[in-house]
């Protein structure tokens, strides 16, 4: 079943087109990364999914329904810009958001207590937010998003501003919810998190979809890269696009080799064997998502 | 999903109710009711002014003192007469001077009243027929008190008095406990000849009443001397001084006429004032809350669960609930105070509450109160949504407050003068002033067509306001541009440029 579907969605703010003909689908139980640089249209897309703003054109389906507050019981949302009511206690804050999502007071409080215990904040349940440290407040914020055990959890730049401990906590929580069957969509421009968590991902630039697929499919979009140790240059071997000297090892020259698009390293190895091309080292480098992102989206956004 | 609106309202109420400011404001009125009478009693300053008469001939001073005492007794008699009429006590002695109302009491009558034992004797008679809850008669305070003249002053000439008296009339601050003298009057021995001048020392303007007493008493003495010099026998000359016209005063009985209008206007005016006060307080708390929600970036998380309209109406409901709670507590405190002090306040409250005995007036008051609350709260809410800080909000708030609050004092005074004057009626039709003006006018009686017409105009205004400011509110909640210009606000009201 499809948890989230965007079908040719466009959003204009006056003259500016923030999201341009965006289509993608997120299946039930997936962890889906929504990647893009600043201003790529990630937050606008997520706000449309949550019905905070309406698309100019196109169709959105969320858990099989149109966007609206009637979905809030099944949704969790952690916005990029976070804040809490300073004078409310941690537990009251979680209970309040739980109730806004249709939970009963007792259920929301019970679930809130259990989350605070799990996050190591059990003793601060009745402490006002203004008395908590920033890291503690971030945990409370996460608890408000997941208090209703959402079927679909939407996280907008969830790791931004978190300290390493809370980044780990959030990753664990995402994995836990995923194991329990929740679908998770999160936007980020930090590729390491996406690499660790995403089943599938979508790359967005200037409001347009640049790529949608698995991490392997994403990596496959980059030409394969190899490190060879040989006495002679590999240029001229079948499938080799370029080769550059990268040093010397025990009298053998190290070569940084790039294959032509679609080229298979196995084919190159076979060609070397058949031609008697002496090799001391044949090592394939796996491209990172960061490399993929820069390759697909462009240098400018990669730096953002 | 309207439960979400109630949840927002309840949170808003709780947040405001958790502030110290709310509780201080809430309790300050009951505290004032409790402490007010005591403090008033402790702080009460006598308005009796001290007069020193310096009269070397020892003729005029006695006459001036007698006249001051007589005038005070006339005031006592008038007040007693009003009291007797108010509490239906004439039957205690229908032939008594105080039972004869509506005329200016002559010197002869006042002297007879004093000779009959004055207010004390009259009070004893009245007590025999008075109802048990009749408050006791409060004798008005004398306007002037003659203080003894020290010998050193009594024997000084005007030049010496010029040096001595300023220090007595305006004593240095360090001279604690010294009762300052208000006026010193020097009457030269030969004042009647017209050659020597009567002199007055004062720290400020001399009241017309005191001047009248001096002028009248000393003129009498001069006339007497003149008539005697013209060969008129002393007893004839004296009798001529007593010739005075009978003056009848026609005015409504106590609690009627303008007095009635004022009393009946007090409660509606008070309600109007309560509306203003509670609105300013709860509105500014709500504004602070909205600014906090915006500046703390928590709006987005809330809007994922609640629609902007539910959020807006929830906040309005919460604020109205805060305002109504405050008003309810204040009203209960007033009722408790009325019961606790039965006599005077209850006596005053009864006629003041009379307008509420008409259900239509009571309903109209509730309607105007709630509509006024909604109208002004909506302005506060929108200002809060447009501002990232209280400082930002202040720049919108100051002119708005000036427009709303400033005319209130003028309206209150104008209503007490004439609740149906043209100015007041025009104000009633200006929606932003309709609630305050109509609330203030309702006690004195407003034609039904005007009550309905102004109410309908107000309802239409509030509906348009909620639609237009609602657009600004929704557009500003997540808007990155805080403190939009007036042109931008106008654009948002027209629904352009939002999102």
pLDDT for B453-462, tens place per residue? 999 999 999 9
Distance (Å, whole) CA A54 – CA A68: 10
Cross-chain residue pair B300–A13, CB shorter than 8 Å? no
Cross-chain residue pair A52–B300, CB shorter than 8 Å? yes
pLDDT per position as a tens digit, B307-343: 888 999 999 999 888 888 887 887 787 777 766 665 5
Note whether ipTM > 0.85 here: no
> Which residues make Cβ contacts (< 8 Å) with residue B398, sequence separation at least 6?
none
pLDDT per position as a tens digit, B155-192: 888 888 888 888 788 766 555 555 678 888 888 887 77
Higher pLDDT pick, B423 / B30: B423
Cross-chain CB nearest to B305 (options A69, A81, A82): A69
Q: Report which DSSP code applies to B97.
A: G
Cross-chain residue pair B298–A85, CB shorter than 8 Å? yes
Cross-chain residue pair A81–B304, CB shorter than 8 Å? no
Q: DSSP letter string over A169-215? A: HHHHHHHHHHHTT-EEEEEES-HHHHHHH-SEEEEEETTEEEEEEEH
Please check whether residue A77 touches B, CB under 8 A.
Answer: yes
Interface of A with B in 7-36 (CB under 8 A): 13-14
- Per the DSSP assignment, residues forming a β-bridge with A185 are A32, A154
Cross-chain residue pair B310–A69, CB shorter than 8 Å? yes
Q: Which of A123-127, A186-190, B349-353 bottoms out in mean pLDDT, i.e. has the lowest? A: B349-353
Instruction: Tell me the nearest-neighbour CA distance from B379 into chain A, angstroms.
Output: 22
Cross-chain residue pair A83–B297, CB shorter than 8 Å? yes
CATH (residue range A2-219): 3.40.50.300
Cross-chain residue pair A87–B18, CB shorter than 8 Å? yes
Cross-chain residue pair A54–B7, CB shorter than 8 Å? no
Residue range(s) of every CATH 3.30.70 domain in chain A: 223-286
Which of A165, A162, A155 has its CA nearest to residue A197?
A155
User: Minimal Cα distance from B11: which residue of A?
Assistant: A96
Residue A303 has pLDDT above 50, yes or no: no
pLDDT per position as a tens digit, B431-467: 988 988 888 787 777 888 988 999 999 999 999 999 9
Residue A299 has pLDDT above 70, yes or no: no
Please check whether residue A48 touches B, CB under 8 A.
Answer: no
User: Minimal Cα distance from A85: which residue of B?
Assistant: B293
Cross-chain CB nearest to A69 (options B1, B295, B298): B1
Q: What class, spelled out in words, does domain A223-286 have in CATH?
A: alpha beta
pLDDT at residue B458, as a whole number = 94
> Which residues make Cβ contacts (< 8 Å) with residue B286, sequence separation at least 6?
B12, B16, B315, B318, B319, B322, B377, B380, B381, B384
In which band, very low, low, confident or very high, does the pLDDT at B346 lie, cut at 50, 70 and 90?
low
The domains of chain B are located at: 2-38+255-493, 49-242
Distance (Å, whole) CA B63 – CA A100: 85
Cross-chain residue pair A100–B310, CB shorter than 8 Å? no
Residue A302 has pLDDT above 50, yes or no: no
Residue carrying structure tokens 């539910």: B310
Please check whether residue A81 touches B, CB under 8 A.
Answer: yes
Residue B345 has pLDDT above 80, yes or no: no
Percent of chain B with pLDDT over 90: 10
Please check whether residue A134 touches B, CB under 8 A.
Answer: no
User: Minimal Cα distance from B18: which residue of A?
Assistant: A87
Mean pLDDT of chain B: 80
Cross-chain residue pair B301–A79, CB shorter than 8 Å? yes
Rg of the Cα trace of chain A? 24
Cross-chain CB nearest to B304 (options A14, A52, A81): A52
Which residues of chain A make contact with B295, given a CB cutoff of 8 A?
Answer: 83
Phi and psi dihedrals of A178, rounded to 5? Answer: -65, -45
Please check whether residue A54 touches B, CB under 8 A.
Answer: yes
pLDDT per position as a tens digit, B34-46: 776 666 566 666 6
Which of A262, A221, A226 has its CA nearest to residue A244?
A226
Distance (Å, whole) CA B272 – CA B405: 12
Residue range(s) of every CATH 3.40.50.300 domain in chain A: 2-219
Best mutation target, B12, B285, B296, B305, to test chain A (most A CBs within 10 A):
B305
Q: What is the mean pLDDT of residues A148-169?
A: 88
Cross-chain residue pair B297–A82, CB shorter than 8 Å? yes
Query: pTM here?
Result: 0.70
pLDDT at residue B45, as a whole number = 62
> Which residues make Cβ contacts (< 8 Å) with residue A48, sequence separation at least 6?
A6, A9, A11, A19, A54, A55, A60, A67
Phi and psi dihedrals of A204, rounded to 5? Answer: -120, 135
Cross-chain residue pair B18–A50, CB shorter than 8 Å? no
In which band, very low, low, confident or very high, does the pLDDT at B242 lie, cut at 50, 70 and 90?
low
Instruction: Tell me the nearest-neighbour CA distance from A210 into chain B, angstroms.
Output: 25
Q: DSSP letter string over B342-383? A: HHHHHHHHHHHHGGGGSHHHHHHHHHHHHHHHHHHHHHHHHH
């Amino acid at each position: 079943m499809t948890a989230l579907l965007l079908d040719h969605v466009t959003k204009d703010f006056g003259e500016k087109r923030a999201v341009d003909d965006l289509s993608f689908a997120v299946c039930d139980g997936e962890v889906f990364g929504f990647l893009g640089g600043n201003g790529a249209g990630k937050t606008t897309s997520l706000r449309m999914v949550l019905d905070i703003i309406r698309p100019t054109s196109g169709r959105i389906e969320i858990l099989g329904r149109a966007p609206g507050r009637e979905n809030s019981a099944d949704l969790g949302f952690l916005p990029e810009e976070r804040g809490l009511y300073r004078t409310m206690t941690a537990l009251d804050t979680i209970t309040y958001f739980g109730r806004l999502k249709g939970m009963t007071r007792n259920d929301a409080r019970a679930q809130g207590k259990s989350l605070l215990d799990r996050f190591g904040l059990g003793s601060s349940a009745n402490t006002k937010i203004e008395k908590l440290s920033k890291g503690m407040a971030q945990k409370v914020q996460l608890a408000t998003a997941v208090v209703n055990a959402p079927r679909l959890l939407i996280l907008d730049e969830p790791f931004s501003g978190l300290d390493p401990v809370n980044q780990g906590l959030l990753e664990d929580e995402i994995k836990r919810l995923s194991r329990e069957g929740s679908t998770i969509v999160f936007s980020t421009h930090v590729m390491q998190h996406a690499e660790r968590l995403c089943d599938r991902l979508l790359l967005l630039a200037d409001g347009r979809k640049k790529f949608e697929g698995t991490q392997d499919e994403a990596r496959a979009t980059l030409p394969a890269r190899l490190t060879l140790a040989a006495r002679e240059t590999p240029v001229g071997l079948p499938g080799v696009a370029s080769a550059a000297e990268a040093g010397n090892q025990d009298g053998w020259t190290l070569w940084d080799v790039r294959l032509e698009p679609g080229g298979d390293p196995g084919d190159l190895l076979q060609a070397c064997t058949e031609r008697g091309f002496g090799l001391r080292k044949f090592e394939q480098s796996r491209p990172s998502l960061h490399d993929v992102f820069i390759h697909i989206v462009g240098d400018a956004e990669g730096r953002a | 999903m309207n439960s979400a609106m109630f949840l927002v309202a309840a949170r808003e109420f709780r947040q405001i109710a958790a502030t110290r400011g709310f509780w201080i404001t809430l309790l300050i009125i009951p505290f004032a009711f409790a402490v007010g009478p005591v403090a008033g009693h402790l702080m009460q300053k006598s308005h009796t002014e001290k007069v020193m008469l310096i009269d070397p001939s020892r003729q005029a001073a006695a006459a001036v003192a007698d006249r001051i005492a007589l005038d005070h007794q006339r005031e006592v008699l008038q007040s007693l007469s009003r009291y007797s009429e108010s509490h239906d006590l004439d039957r205690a002695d229908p032939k008594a001077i105080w039972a004869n109302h509506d005329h200016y009491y002559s010197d002869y009558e006042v002297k007879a009243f004093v000779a009959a034992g004055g207010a004390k004797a009259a009070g004893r008679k009245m007590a025999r027929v008075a109802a048990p809850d009749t408050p006791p008669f409060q004798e008005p305070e004398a306007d002037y008190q003659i203080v003894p003249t020290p010998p050193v002053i009594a024997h000084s000439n005007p030049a010496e008095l010029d040096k001595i008296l300023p220090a007595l009339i305006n004593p240095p601050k360090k001279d604690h406990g010294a009762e300052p003298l208000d006026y010193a009057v020097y009457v030269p021995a030969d004042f009647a000849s017209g050659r020597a001048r009567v002199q007055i020392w004062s720290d400020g303007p001399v009241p017309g009443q005191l001047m009248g007493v001096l002028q009248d008493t000393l003129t009498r003495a001069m006339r007497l001397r003149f008539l005697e010099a013209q060969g008129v026998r002393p007893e004839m000359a004296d009798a001529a001084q007593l010739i005075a016209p009978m003056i009848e005063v026609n005015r409504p009985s106590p609690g009627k006429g303008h007095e009635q209008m004022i009393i009946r206007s007090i409660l509606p005016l008070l309600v109007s004032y309560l509306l203003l006060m509670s609105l300013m307080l709860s509105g500014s708390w709500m504004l602070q809350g909205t600014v906090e929600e915006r500046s703390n970036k928590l709006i987005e998380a809330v809007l994922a669960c609640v629609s902007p309209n539910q959020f807006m109406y929830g906040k309005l409901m919460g604020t109205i609930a805060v305002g109504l709670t405050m008003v309810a507590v204040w009203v209960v405190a007033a009722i408790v105070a009325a019961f606790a002090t039965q006599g005077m306040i209850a006596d005053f409250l009864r006629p003041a509450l009379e307008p509420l005995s008409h259900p239509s007036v009571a309903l109209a008051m509730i309607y105007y109160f709630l509509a006024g609350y909604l109208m002004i709260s909506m302005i506060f809410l929108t200002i809060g949504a447009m501002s990232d800080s209280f400082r930002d909000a202040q720049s919108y708030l100051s002119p708005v407050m000036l427009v709303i609050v400033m005319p209130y004092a003028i309206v209150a005074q104008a209503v007490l003068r004439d609740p149906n004057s043209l100015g007041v009626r025009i104000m009633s039709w200006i929606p932003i002033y309709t609630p305050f003006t109509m609330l203030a006018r309702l006690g004195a009686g407003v034609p039904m067509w005007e009550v309905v017409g102004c109410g309908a105009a107000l309802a239409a205004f509030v509906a348009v306001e909620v639609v237009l400011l609602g657009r600004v509110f929704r557009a500003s909640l997540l808007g990155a541009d805080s403190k939009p210009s007036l042109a931008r606000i106008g654009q948002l009201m027209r629904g352009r440029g939002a999102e």
